[in-house]
Amino acid sequence: MTRQRHRSLLLLCSLFVPPALYAAHPLITEDTATQGQGNFQFELTNEHIVTREGGFDQPSVLTNGVLAYGATDSADIIVTAPYLRVGASALAGTPAESGFTDAGLDLKWRFYEKDRVSFALKPGLTFPTGDETRGLGTGRVTWSAYLTASYHPGPWNLLLHLGHVHHNNTFNERRDIWHGSAALVRQFGESLQAVVDTGIDTNTDRRARSNPTFLIAGLIWSARKNLDLDLGYRLESSDTLRARALLAGLAWRW
């Protein structure tokens, strides 16, 4: 695989899959909610992405399965398994690629909750289960730590999210990646939420002159007490890439 192809796939992964960062879809900003002791949640999401680089568009589809288990009322254990399909690259002159990327294991712990304010800590690891020779993984174990805060007055919920990823990799990408984001969630009745999310991450490309920023707008509909469906749209850009994505997912709890 060419160096250009490696770089394109890794930039795509860094734009849309910050390691160990899997919030309630379509949000990237994490909330402080947990499943409760003995409860499970399975989340299945699909993201149809078009990335523009060097005057060429490249389509891809990211499918992600996330299983969360409530170890205690305030702590979840979370396993993630992403699958990435990337279309042929006209820029690099290379064929399509597809396969599982690096799997993740996270612990989400809500350590403070009083009145309308709560805080949670989310450390995590990713493992080199993806094939780095095809640009589908980092080739090494990475670790991360995120802090999130929630202020929940009435039907509104304001979320703030800060974190660091030690982006260990075999492709000379930046290893110290910082994340900052904020989201606003508005509840309408008992079954509908509107979300807006925005943030910035350190660019993994050492040659880049700017960091990627994103903006998301979407809806979450609780079709049943234990089933949520969501739709969203995301725009993301840096000095080398422009990307847009149509987002859809479901979350099932038991």
- Average confidence (pLDDT) over 20-35: 84
List, for residues 152-171, the tens digit of each pLDDT value. Answer: 998 999 999 999 999 888 88
Mean pLDDT computed over every residue of the chain: 88
**Topology, domain 3-253:** Porin (2.40.160)
pLDDT at 2 over 50: no
DSSP 3-state of 9: helix
Q: How confident is the model at residue 205 (pLDDT cuts 50, 70, 90)?
A: confident
pLDDT at 16: 47
- Average confidence (pLDDT) over 233-248: 91
> Hey, how many other C-beta atoms are within 10 angstroms of the C-beta on 119?
16
pLDDT at 136: 83
Give residue limits of the domains in the chain: 3-253
- Average confidence (pLDDT) over 168-185: 91
pLDDT at 92: 59
List, for residues 64-85, the tens digit of each pLDDT value. Answer: 999 999 999 999 999 999 999 9
- Predicted TM-score (pTM) of this structure: 0.89
Long-range CB contacts (within 8 A, 24+) of 188-194: 188/155, 190/222, 191/221, 191/222, 191/223, 192/219, 192/220, 192/221, 192/222, 193/219, 193/220, 193/221, 194/218, 194/219
